[in-house]
Amino acid sequence: MSGKDKGGIMSKLAETGQHIRSSQAWSSIFRPGSPFRDGYSDTPRNRSYVIMNNVLYHLHPVKVKRHGVRLSYTLCLGGLSFFLFILLTITGIFLMFYYRPTSPQAFLDIQALATDVTFGQVVRNMHRWGAHAMVLTVFLHMARVFYHGAYKPPREFNWVVGIVLLLLTLLLSFTGYLLPWDQLAVWAVTVGSNMGRYAPVIGDQVSFALIGGTQITPDTLLRWYVLHVLFLPFVIVIFMAVHFWRVRKDGGISGPL
Amino acid sequence: MAGLPEHLLRRSAEAKAKATGRPVEEILAELKGEAPPPAAGAPSAGSGPVRDLAKESADLGVPEDLLRRAMIARAKKDGTPIPGEPGAAPVAAAGTAPVAAGSPAPIPTIPEGVRTQRLLTVVKAGAIQQTKREPADKVNTWPHLLAIEFVALLVLTGLLFVFSIYVDAPLLEFANFNQQPNPSKAPWYFLGLQELLSYFDPMVAGIIIPGYGLAGLAFIPYLDRNPSVRPSDRKLAIMIFTFFVMGAAILTTYGSFFRGPGFNFTFPWVDGIFFDF
């Protein structure tokens, strides 16, 4: 008896599901070929649709060169750099909820992450180790591209964009280094930014503008915080967009050796 | 048909012949608007009312052969006799036509069934820019590339998460501007430069070397004119790049682990490591 009822409910559910899937709202959300629309069957047409009707189409073409897919060719370094950037954005937003860039408070907030905030310490750890990892993957990506000669025409300009991205990555890491406002942060940044002071003609001015004075003060903290969470991410996203766009415009990933 | 190359017409006729099972030549003639279809049972040419196609063409701005073709097609479709034309050899039925040859019927503004749009031109192959793509060995991004990227992303997240559970980010005591730690080191990626700073003047180590280094790096594609990407053809370029990368790596390692208090040389296994990530 109950089995019969259950069957009735199941068929009702299936009917409702079918009704939802055929609604205008549903098909406006999921473009043709989406597995959520009519189910996914593995056909060349659907394989193309998955990319074409997806925001990923901005990043990847429908087809890529077979050799470029080999892990041993790219080692995924560029992709992982980008992914680390996303991971750092997510963990960074989390940290921003608990951080105030003022003089003793910044340090106290970082301390509080370890004691008062659920998952605070592990998220801060991920942010820090992820940042170091990103410097490393960006550098290794550059080395990979060099050894494959992938900077040669028509990809010369994208190499230059890549160098800008490397520089921005270093700046992002360096500005973030100050934010814990402990002895390590303050003195590492002092040593690091002292080097820039020797730049000819504009060295003093650049240094003054960057650290907001002649030496590192709580004003520097606010300034570098804004650079770290807003200005530099904004700039790097623009350069990343150009970088990814040029990869595709220049004919996709470079050819095999 | 106006301006259509013969080979295109023929190809079209052949396709049509294949589809309908009629002889190619017949369809070809029909397409050209030259001869009516001589199929058995079909009305023969000139048996219908007479139309002055030359005049209609001038009035309507439609090429004469298009009009003729439309006329034939229409007659065939309706099963009515095909109108005769002035000047054309009258067929036996001419006398029975409602309007005698030589005095054409009043011309309708636009005859029904006549298409008023025209084919302006057929662009021959090669006349416009041709983009030829070398056939490349390609695979679908989904699933081949996306699956790899997804796994790479999961592995990286997993490793980073597990590492972050066990190893805490450093946090020393509260910032004190009156007490400089000894040694005080820049972040690790600048330690190669800091190492250079102990050999050279700050102007050289802090500005000239990194400045030229960065500029040189950015200009690599414009300096390296060698088009080959094969490692065996690029020995010099690879050698130079590797030299600088190794130099930077050695300096960074040296500055990180072999410099102790006062930035003096130290063995990390003797005096410990003076380095924070």
The pair of three-digit structure tokens given for residue A42, joined into one six-digit string = 């593995």
Q: What ipTM was reported for this prediction?
A: 0.90
Superfamily of domain A75-249: Cytochrome Bc1 Complex; Chain C (1.20.810.10)
pLDDT greater at residue B34 or residue B141: B141
Kindly state the average pLDDT of the residues B61-84.
Answer: 81
Mean of the per-residue pLDDT values of chain A? 90
Sorted by where each begins, the domain ranges of chain B are: 6-96, 183-271
Q: Which of A90, A124, A125 to mutate to test the interface with B (most CBs of B within 10 A)?
A: A125
Which of A55, A80, A103, A60 has the alpha carbon at shortest distance from A252? A60
Question: Cα–Cα distances in Å, from A16 out to A20, A23, A36, B21, B237?
Answer: 6, 11, 15, 51, 65
Question: Which residues face B138 on adjacent strands?
Answer: A65
Cβ contact B158:A77 at 8 Å: no
Cβ contact B155:A83 at 8 Å: no
Q: Chain B within 8 Å of A205 (Cβ-Cβ)?
A: no
Determine the pLDDT at residue A183. Answer: 93
Check whether A208 has a pLDDT greater than 70.
yes
Kindly state the average pLDDT of the residues A218-246.
Answer: 96
Could A185 and B234 be called an inter-chain contact, meaning their C-beta atoms sit closer than 8 Å? no
Which of B115, B128, B121, B126 has the alpha carbon at shortest distance from B4? B121
- Of the candidate ranges A2-6, B218-222, B262-266, the one whose mean pLDDT is the lowest: A2-6
B 208-247 → A contacts, CB under 8 A: 210, 214, 217-218, 220-222, 224, 226-231, 234, 237-238, 241, 245
Could A183 and B227 be called an inter-chain contact, meaning their C-beta atoms sit closer than 8 Å? no
Sorted by where each begins, the domain ranges of chain A are: 75-249
Could B165 and A125 be called an inter-chain contact, meaning their C-beta atoms sit closer than 8 Å? yes
pLDDT greater at residue B109 or residue B148: B148
Asked if the peptide bond before residue B49 counts as cis, ω within 30 degrees of 0, the response is: no
Cβ contact A119:B165 at 8 Å: no
Q: Which residue of B has its CA nearest to A150?
A: B229
H or E element that contains B139: strand B138-140
pLDDT greater at residue B31 or residue A69: A69
Check whether A50 has a pLDDT greater than 90.
no
Nearest Cβ partner for B221 among A122, A132, A159: A159
Check whether B92 has a pLDDT greater than 50.
no
Determine the pLDDT at residue B90. Answer: 45
The dihedral through the CA atoms of A225, B197, B193, B252 has a sign that is negative
A-chain CB neighbours of B227 within 8 Å are: 152-153
Could A67 and B168 be called an inter-chain contact, meaning their C-beta atoms sit closer than 8 Å? no
Q: Which of A57, A191, A239 to mutate to test the interface with B (most CBs of B within 10 A)?
A: A191
Could B194 and A79 be called an inter-chain contact, meaning their C-beta atoms sit closer than 8 Å? no
Q: Which residue of A has its CA nearest to B245?
A: A143
pLDDT greater at residue B33 or residue A232: A232
Determine the pLDDT at residue A215. Answer: 85
Kindly state the average pLDDT of the residues A11-18.
Answer: 90
Highest mean pLDDT: which range of A33-47, A135-149, B97-111, B176-190: A135-149
The pair of three-digit structure tokens given for residue A16, joined into one six-digit string = 């409702």
What is the nearest CA distance from A173 to chain B, expressed in angstroms? 9
Could B153 and A83 be called an inter-chain contact, meaning their C-beta atoms sit closer than 8 Å? yes
Could B229 and A150 be called an inter-chain contact, meaning their C-beta atoms sit closer than 8 Å? yes
Check whether B39 has a pLDDT greater than 60.
no
Q: Where would I find the H helices in chain B? A: 6-20, 24-32, 53-60, 64-78, 146-166, 191-197, 202, 209-218, 220-223, 235-257, 268-271
